């Protein structure tokens, strides 16, 4: 990877799915050997998956590494499309990928419903609220948002204009 950067073939390197200790070890090796260091890491992170907050985010803040979350809407759970009443929507991830159903646990469905209620109170959609919350998190550089249509992508872009107050962030936390 160092050769790729120093030869001009790539600008920066990033990791994906490293535990904090693995990323720290890689950063230490880069420093020791004089190699180009990772500037980012990709990890699953959302209102439904706060695991990176335990070790990865503090380490990234300390080391100046940006986080690029994937699965920011928890596969649609944070969009409000899954609820206890309507079942699995046709064409949704749970419909097209039966393995996804392992995430449709009661506490996740309830979280999606709570985010939908908060979004309604704030005058936005659950996906916009969830993405805005994520982009306001420390160390988050950008977010990988999957969209199955141009309309979804354009809708999610509204999260860039959503400014969350400290009180809103506290409520969502």
- CATH node for 2-172: 3.20.20.100
Q: What is the pLDDT of residues 100-142, one digit of tens each?
A: 666 666 888 899 999 999 999 999 999 999 999 999 999 999 9
Closest CA to 128 of 101, 168, 155: 155
Q: Cα-flanking dihedrals φ and ψ of residue 158, to 5°?
A: -65, -20
d(CA 117, CA 115): 5
Instruction: Write down the domain spans for the chain.
Output: 2-172
Task: Return the higher-pLDDT residue of 46 and 104.
Answer: 46
Q: Which residues contact 115 (CB under 8 A, 6 or more apart)?
A: 47, 78, 80, 126, 129, 130, 172
Angle between the N-to-C axes of helices 106-122 and 126-135, in degrees from 0 to 180, rounded to the nearest 10: 90
Q: Are 126 and 80 in contact (CB under 8 A)?
A: yes
- Taking the model in full, what pTM does it have? 0.90
**Contact yes or no for 11/5 (Cβ under 8 A):** yes
pLDDT in tens, 21-37: 999 999 999 999 999 99
pLDDT for the residue 85: 64
């Amino acid at each position: 990877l160092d050769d790729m950067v120093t030869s001009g073939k790539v600008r920066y390197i990033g990791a994906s799915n490293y535990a904090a200790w693995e990323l720290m070890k890689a950063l230490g090796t880069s420093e020791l050997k004089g190699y180009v260091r990772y500037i980012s890491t990709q990890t699953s992170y959302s209102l439904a998956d706060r695991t990176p907050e335990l070790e990865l985010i503090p380490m990234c803040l300390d080391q100046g590494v940006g986080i690029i979350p994937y699965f920011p809407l928890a596969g649609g759970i944070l969009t409000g499309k899954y609820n206890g009443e309507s079942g699995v929507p046709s064409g949704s991830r749970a419909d097209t990928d039966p393995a996804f159903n392992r995430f449709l646990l009661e506490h996740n469905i309830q979280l999606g419903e709570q985010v939908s209620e908060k979004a309604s109170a704030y005058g936005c959609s659950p996906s916009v609220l969830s993405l805005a919350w994520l982009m306001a998190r420390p160390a988050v550089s950008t977010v990988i948002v999957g969209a199955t249509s141009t309309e979804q992508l354009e809708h999610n872009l509204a999260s860039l204009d959503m400014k969350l107050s400290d009180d809103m962030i506290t409520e969502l936390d």
